[in-house]
Amino acid sequence: MIVAAPPSDLAPPSRLLSIRMAWFLACAFCATANFYLLWSTLPLAASAAGSAAAGLVTGISMLGCVTTEVLVAARVLRLGHVPAMALGAGLMTLGAGLLTAPVALRAMPGPLLEVPGALSVGRQELPLLLGEHGLGLVFAASLIRGVGLGVVAVAGTAIAADTAPPGRRGESLGLYGVAVSVPGAAALPAGIWVAHQLGFLDVFLLALVFGAVSLGLAFLIPPRRQTAAGRPTTFGVLRQGRARRPALVFLTTTIAAGIYGSFLAIAMSGTSASVIALALLAQTGAAAIARWAAGWVGDRLGAHRLLVPCMLTSVAGGVLAIAIGEPSFAIAGMLLFGVGYGALQNVTLALMYEGVPVRGFGGVSTVWNTAYDAGMGVGAVGFGFLTQAGGFPVGFAATAAVLGLGVFPAVRDSADRASLGR
């Protein structure tokens, strides 16, 4: 079922790629590049203090993100989606700047950061790079970046939805998905590669540049008049089974995504940096393509028809990833997981928007993004403590089991919608 067109004062243009959408996508692209450059790099830096510390880096970031989405984003969105986007981009830029500021005041020569089994070429020791409170600074920067991401995520998803032409919401969300997935596909492995080859400082500076550009682009997005009817209704969305079940399905995959994004490089530390980058690229690249393709297919065949196949594909990838120490299994697992995960990003969001009026878009965006970020944070923190006690094989087996749990709500939701003819 396609949601009815918004009121005339919010009516989107007939073409998919309008001027507003183009500036918005460019802003989202740069903000996402800022985020993903440090997504795996900061946990790798913190892993010298143990896997629990690496997991906490992601957990703290996602805690700030989820708290912002649940408690703050609704109020910020009332000021307008575009000002909210600018605020979030500014905070993400500030987080990257916090990491680079101490470096400008001190020399950088010193011993290399020793991560067991990992390449250490060109990577300075964090206490030397950031000062004696280097780990604390990483935690603080992660928190600020998480808060900024929370605002950007909720505002961005809402902008993508309300800018879509009638009958093309899935494609619009898919286009937005490409804009935020492509930088992930490139920046996630690139951050690891640059950290190994050049040093952490270069990654921090690169993230700072992308953040600053995203902030500038936010001011170029044409605003759209907001009304009181557009205020988010988060808990109203959660009470609806048609929104709650897709959110639960998506939550299981984001738990796994948080684990793979934070720990893949650490778990494969005995492998070459090129193989690690290829595994990360397989996941993020497949996710970017699948997210767009699912929107195109979903608009024509019905998003509910894709829910179960995509979930099963994610599970298959998780099962293969249990053998993470074997490069071929790791790459194949990340490829399959990326296909399922990317498609589910579009499918679950499209299903949650079905039947929801424009005034509920903010609420849907908040719930979906909360599932996204809460899952990533919980997955990374839980995995960090689990593997510290039982090792990586136990952790990746548990990850596959969590993915398997998502099949049950997917089957029920798909069956219910099929019985209603939507």
Tokens of 295: 């929107």
Q: State the first-to-last Cα distance of the chain, in angstroms, to the nearest integer.
A: 5
**How far apart (Å, rounded) are the C-alpha atoms in residues 260 and 331?**
12
**How far apart (Å, rounded) are the C-alpha atoms in residues 18 and 160?**
11
Pick the more confident residue, 312 or 119.
312
Residue 114 has pLDDT above 90, yes or no: no
- Portion of the chain with pLDDT greater than 70, in percent: 79
**Amino acid, single-letter form, for residue 53:** A
* Mean pLDDT, residues 339-364 taken together: 82
Pick the more confident residue, 121 or 130.
130
**Amino acid, single-letter form, for residue 113:** L
Q: Rg (Cα) of the chain, in Å, rounded?
A: 20
DSSP assigned state of 5: P
User: Is the distance from CB of 350 to CB of 175 less than 8 angstroms?
Assistant: no
Look at residue 124 and give its three-state secondary structure.
strand
Per mean pLDDT, which range of 57-71, 84-98, 148-162, 163-177 is the poorest? 163-177
Give the DSSP per-residue string, 225-257. Answer: ---GGGS--HHHHHT-HHHHHHHHHHHHHHHHH
The model's pLDDT over 146-189, given as tens digits with 9 standing for 90+, comes to: 999 988 988 888 788 777 776 677 778 778 888 887 887 788 78
Residue 317 has pLDDT above 90, yes or no: yes
Range of 26-30, 79-83, 276-280 with top mean pLDDT: 26-30
> What are the start-end ranges of the H helices in 198-354?
200-218, 234-238, 241-267, 273-301, 307-320, 327-353
Range of 99-103, 118-122, 219-223 with top mean pLDDT: 219-223
DSSP assigned state of 323: G
Tokens of 5: 């067109």
Range of 88-102, 222-236, 357-371 with top mean pLDDT: 88-102
Question: Is the CA virtual torsion 362, 64, 185, 80 positive or negative?
Answer: positive
DSSP assigned state of 40: T
Q: Quick one: which of 221, 226, 233 has its CA closest to 80? A: 226
pTM: 0.69
Look at residue 133 and give its three-state secondary structure.
coil
Q: Quick one: which of 311, 338, 332 has its CA closest to 320? A: 332
pLDDT for position 108: 43
**How far apart (Å, rounded) are the C-alpha atoms in residues 165 and 377?**
34
Residue 274 has pLDDT above 90, yes or no: no
To which H or E segment does residue 80 belong?
none
Q: Share the mean pLDDT of the chain.
A: 79
Q: Which domains does the chain have, with CATH numbers?
A: 19-225+232-419 (1.20.1250.20)
